[in-house]
Amino acid sequence: MKSGGFVSVATAALVATIAGAGGTLPIILAAAQAVGAAPEQASSWVSGLSLATAFSALVLSVRYRMPIIAAWSTPGAALIASTTGVPSFGAAVGAFVLAAVLILLTAAVRPLGRLIERIPASIAAAMLAGILLRLVMAMVEHVPTSPLLVLPLIALFLVARAFMPALASLVVLVAGGLLAWSLGLVKPLPPIGLTSVVFTGPVWDLATLIGLGVPLYLVTMASQNLPGFAVLRASGYQPPTQPILAVTGAASLGTAFMGAHTSNLAAISAALCTGPDAHPDPAKRWMTGPFYALFWGLIAVFGASLVGLFGALPPALLATVAGTALLGSMAGAMGSALAGDQDRLAAAGTLAVTVSGVTLMGVGSAFWGLVFGLLILGIDRAVKR
């Protein structure tokens, strides 16, 4: 490979890593807080996700000579962050294990994959929109108490996304850290340290398995894996569906005991590695995979330091970074959910129940939103017959 091509694939992998981790790590930390993870468990969570991402990208890219880029499930983290009523971190780990097993089953049983694909896109998008809306709203809720921090960062995001949309959230994070420091809102920074893995045994709580594990699987498949396959196909590749799901599912299962939720195909990050900017020759773009794995491996090693660094930042800043990072995804999900006249009422019902945060029989709102939307859709179609 020529030096120019070597530099381009390494640069594309680095930018994809920064875009994937920098703006969305606060969402992971919010998820960890929501399910009661201790600081060392949150560090292990980040390292587990990073290891799964690095392993999947390295194995799949080298094996199939395609730029198959993995990522942690940001919509999945948003789902966890918006979930209430999880009795323990062990119960959340049980839900992570279930989601990973369901991904493996999807790889092994073709009809299951087809069944997931038959869920109307509008309903899946409405469930995702409801999950993301709650986190975007959390950003706005910090405005009355921290206007000097939140409002300038929202304005900065709107300007930055016009010029560099992939890195806009990272710009907000860096600028927000400096602004928070100047306002005296940053706690003392912890020393740099290596991550120590914490293994957590799963607790099989039925309500958590249904209310968190099943929606986590559905969100990961509908909002990450299916778009990830689409990105690869749009770039001229023919990715092997079942082996990819098997590898990412196995990686998710292995790291679930480290407290990590699912990993999957990347979509936005993948677009940075599958186009001509990564390498003019499509046959050589697979080399982004090993570089990408290297950078994620470094994140895995220093996960504890990252968690400590973010823990020193004010909650208003973390909520703003998460909210701005998810704003575009929320808008896209809402647009997809409400675009068609035929399923609009069902999608609206799904959105309303999901964003409500209601818990029934110990099961969270994302599951009930999906059930309600499918119920409306089923009644409408039965009547029309």
Check residue 137 and give its pLDDT.
86
- Report residue 268's pLDDT band, with 50, 70 and 90 as the boundaries: low
Residue whose entry in the numeric block shows the structure tokens 């869920």: 119
263 strand-pairing partners:
72
- Report residue 5's pLDDT band, with 50, 70 and 90 as the boundaries: low
Q: Is the pLDDT of residue 96 over 90?
A: yes
Check residue 128 and give its pLDDT.
73
Check residue 101 and give its pLDDT.
96
Residue 306 and residue 78: Cα distance in Å, rounded?
Answer: 19
Q: Is the pLDDT of residue 4 over 60?
A: no
Q: Is the pLDDT of residue 91 over 90?
A: yes
Check residue 202 and give its pLDDT.
94
Cα–chain center distance at 46 = 12
For residue 246, which of 112, 102, 119 has the smallest C-alpha distance?
102
Q: Which amino acid is at 131?
A: I
Cα dist. 358→84, 353, 355 in Å? 9, 7, 8
- Phi then psi for residue 360, to 5 deg, are -120, 130
Average pLDDT of the residues in 77-88: 87
Check residue 249 and give its pLDDT.
94
Least confident of 7-21, 92-106, 238-252: 7-21
For residue 38, which of 196, 253, 226 has the smallest C-alpha distance?
196
Least confident of 52-66, 73-87, 267-281: 267-281
Whole-number CA gyration radius for the chain: 20
Q: Is the pLDDT of residue 120 over 70?
A: yes
- Report residue 87's pLDDT band, with 50, 70 and 90 as the boundaries: very high
Express each pLDDT in 269-284 by its tens digit. 676 777 776 778 888 8
Least confident of 136-145, 168-177, 363-372: 363-372
Q: What would the two tokens of residue 113 be?
A: 């994959």
Q: Is the pLDDT of residue 104 over 80?
A: yes
Average pLDDT of the residues in 327-338: 79
Number of domains within the chain: 1
User: Which of helix, strand or coil describes residue 107?
Assistant: helix
Check residue 251 and give its pLDDT.
95
Express each pLDDT in 178-224 by its tens digit. 998 988 888 877 777 777 788 999 999 999 999 899 989 988 887 77
| Mean pLDDT score across all residues of the chain | 83
DSSP 61-98: HHHHTS---EEE-HHHHHHHHT------HHHHHHHHHH
- The pLDDT > 90 percentage for the chain reads 25
Residue 199 and residue 262: Cα distance in Å, rounded?
Answer: 16
Q: Is the pLDDT of residue 55 over 90?
A: yes
Average pLDDT of the residues in 97-119: 84
Residue 209 and residue 98: Cα distance in Å, rounded?
Answer: 7
Check residue 45 and give its pLDDT.
92
DSSP secondary structure letter of residue 143: T
Express each pLDDT in 28-48 by its tens digit. 888 998 999 998 898 899 899
- Report residue 320's pLDDT band, with 50, 70 and 90 as the boundaries: confident
For residue 77, which of 184, 220, 201, 194 has the smallest C-alpha distance?
220
Average pLDDT of the residues in 123-142: 81
Q: Which domain holds residue 169?
A: 3-384
- Report residue 290's pLDDT band, with 50, 70 and 90 as the boundaries: very high
Residue 123 and residue 337: Cα distance in Å, rounded?
Answer: 6
Q: How many residues does the chain have?
A: 385
Which uninterrupted H or E stretch holds 264?
strand 263-265
